[in-house]
Amino acid sequence: MAWKRLRYWLGWPWLGLVLGGIAAIQGLAYCWAEGLWFEDVGYSDAFQLRITTQVILGLFGMGSSFALLWGNLVLANHLRPMVASELRPSTLNPQGRPRRRVGLGLKSLLALTITLALLISIQLLYLGRVVISYWSPTASVYTPAPPIPLWAKPTAMQTVIEQLLAQPWQLIALGSGAIALLFLPRFASKVAALLASVGLGVALAEQWTKVLLALNPVPFGEIDPLFQRDIGFYLFRLPCLEVLEFWLISLMFFALVSVTLLYLLSGNSLSRGRFLGLTAPQQRHLYGLGGVLLLATSFSHWLGRYQTLYSQRGVVYGASYTDVHASLPAYTALSVMALLLGLGLLWRTLFWRIGLLSIMEWLRKVGQRQHAALPPFPYRPLSARPLIWGILLYLSLGMLGGWAAPLLVQQIVVQPNELLRETPYLERAIAKPGELLTSTPSMPSPLCRRGS
């Protein structure tokens, strides 16, 4: 009863207006006061450029994130859950009820839903801390961009765990969020989508310097020897691409976990003690979200290839023998495999009953036809086994290429003859800084005083 009263409480809109009004008043007061100061010292154009860029990035990140999350939640609530009458006859007992082995039992369902609810709560907690850390107005005309949040990186979980241990009170907020998602999944998921959209919008707005640098790059005229790219790419374009990577993976991960939780809790599955399964439209929805997430993951692995230039594994800062011969091929293979898996999931989403075998059979009939009319297309139910094996192979390759292969190469190939293996990379690390110091282009200051 208390949960229902909380859900239909009429004060939610007023609470949102009050909190939004406080934030708006604080932001307007800051912009007005700082605008007067920058106008007085002659840097009003630079300040206006910063504020305009932040507003555009914040509105874009918040609006697009909310539209995507809200649309997926509405679609998930619209699709009806599986009912016993839709099960195969072989899965029903003589009384017409599903056997106990169908779907998920209560224990498995509880474990899975609690895990998904905790993942959503952890992401909201992490984004909340990001927003709080950014909510500190500065009087500087130019502030360096804060580091990109780590949610799209494997080290994010370690960061969250360290924060929870340092401040145990956050466990209460984490548990409260998870409970709300379990008992009020539709209402709590929409509130969570709104909060996540605000967090992602603020995170994008604070990366304004990286976006402006990407829009105004300056070539250095020097090519890095590993990827054959101009040095300016790593200073101007790569940081902005990493911001895009963070936003895409965070957004799609939140959407996939939220929709999966709604489907598992649909049809009062917890009260009935069993989840019967996913309908075909629900499976297509999850396939689509998973496919886009894997495409974003492929993009992340591809950008990870450039991180080998910042490796600290070798005796000098930069790419070492192990990075070039183990980590770099692993990143490339993971990117290609994630791309193929993502395209496979999107194919299942768009063409539910059309597989490669169906296409090959249809093409064979087309080649053998004797009339002008095309033969009918053979439809057959697709098997999920190739995708499951592909995902397992991807995870195995991730563990092998991310940890085992670099360790083995370092210990077996490099360490017995380290000087010989690392000599080309030592020479490159010593020679390149001197060349860059003499060839760095002179760039005009982006912040020029008015009238100068």
Predicted confidence (pLDDT) per residue in 225-270, tens digit: 888 899 899 999 999 999 999 999 999 999 999 999 999 998 888 8
The position carrying tokens 């998921």 is 189
Query: What is the total count of domains within the chain?
Result: 2
| Residue 11 forms part of a structural domain | no
User: In this structure, are 437 and 350 located in the same domain?
Assistant: yes
Decide which of 231, 251, 275 is a domain's last residue.
Answer: 275
Asked whether 61 and 247 are in contact (CB, 8 A), the reply is yes
Report residues of the chain scoring pLDDT below 70. Answer: 1-16, 19, 83-102, 134-158, 352-363, 365-387, 431-452
Q: Quick one: tokens of 51?
A: 């504020």
Give the phi and the psi of residue 293 in degrees, each rounded to 5: -65, -40
| Residue 37 forms part of a structural domain | no
* Cα dihedral sign, 228-229-231-234: negative
User: In this structure, are 313 and 372 located in the same domain?
Assistant: yes
User: In this structure, are 184 and 323 located in the same domain?
Assistant: no
Domain, as residue range, for 363: 279-442
Those residues whose C-beta lies under 8 Å from the C-beta of residue 306, and which sit 6 or more positions away, are: 227, 234, 238
CA-to-CA distance for 323 and 227, rounded, in angstroms?
A: 13
Give the phi and the psi of residue 275 in degrees, each rounded to 5: -105, 115
| Residue 335 forms part of a structural domain | yes
CA-to-CA distance for 274 and 272, rounded, in angstroms?
A: 6
Q: Quick one: tokens of 396?
A: 């195995």
| Residue 41 forms part of a structural domain | no
What is the number of helices (H) and of strands (E) in the chain?
A: 18, 2
408 Cα distance to chain centroid: 30
| Residue 27 forms part of a structural domain | no
User: In this structure, are 264 and 383 located in the same domain?
Assistant: no
Q: How many CB atoms lie within 10 A of CB 201?
A: 22
The position carrying tokens 């053998």 is 368
Q: How many CB atoms lie within 10 A of CB 417?
A: 9
Those residues whose C-beta lies under 8 Å from the C-beta of residue 431, and which sit 6 or more positions away, are: none
| Residue 238 forms part of a structural domain | yes
Compute, in degrees rounded to 10, the torsion defined by CA atoms 140, 145, 146, 147.
-160
> HEC profile for 94-127?
CCCCECCCCCEEHHHHHHHHHHHHHHHHHHHHHH
Those residues whose C-beta lies under 8 Å from the C-beta of residue 202, and which sit 6 or more positions away, are: 58, 61, 62, 130, 131, 134, 135
Interior CA angle at 288 toward 282 and 292, to 5°?
150
Task: Give me the helices (H) in 305-369, please.
Answer: 321-322, 328-350, 356-368
The position carrying tokens 């194919």 is 347
User: In this structure, are 239 and 271 located in the same domain?
Assistant: yes
Reported residue count of the chain is: 452
Asked whether 236 and 298 are in contact (CB, 8 A), the reply is no
User: In this structure, are 243 and 284 located in the same domain?
Assistant: no
User: In this structure, are 330 and 231 located in the same domain?
Assistant: no
| Residue 73 forms part of a structural domain | yes
User: In this structure, are 270 and 161 located in the same domain?
Assistant: yes
Decide which of 259, 275, 291 is a domain's last residue.
Answer: 275
Q: What is the pLDDT of residues 16-68, one digit of tens each?
A: 677 677 777 777 777 777 777 777 777 788 888 888 999 999 999 999 999 99
CA-to-CA distance for 113 and 423, rounded, in angstroms?
A: 53
| Residue 25 forms part of a structural domain | no
Q: Is 230 helix (H, G, I), strand (E, B) or coil?
A: strand
Asked whether 84 and 92 are in contact (CB, 8 A), the reply is yes
Q: What angle do the packed helices 44-78 and 185-205 form, to 10 degrees?
A: 160
CA-to-CA distance for 38 and 338, rounded, in angstroms?
A: 48
Which of 290, 268, 266, 288 lies closest to 278 in space, CA to CA?
266
Q: How many CB atoms lie within 10 A of CB 29?
A: 11
One-letter amino acid for residue 381 of the chain:
P
User: In this structure, are 227 and 288 located in the same domain?
Assistant: no
User: In this structure, are 182 and 69 located in the same domain?
Assistant: yes
Tell me the chain's radius of gyration from C-alpha atoms.
27
* Residue 402, CA atoms < 13 Å, CB-side half-sphere: 13
CA-to-CA distance for 79 and 76, rounded, in angstroms?
A: 6
User: In this structure, are 234 and 111 located in the same domain?
Assistant: yes
User: In this structure, are 261 and 379 located in the same domain?
Assistant: no
Decide which of 237, 253, 275 is a domain's last residue.
Answer: 275
Interior CA angle at 53 toward 295 and 440, to 5°?
80
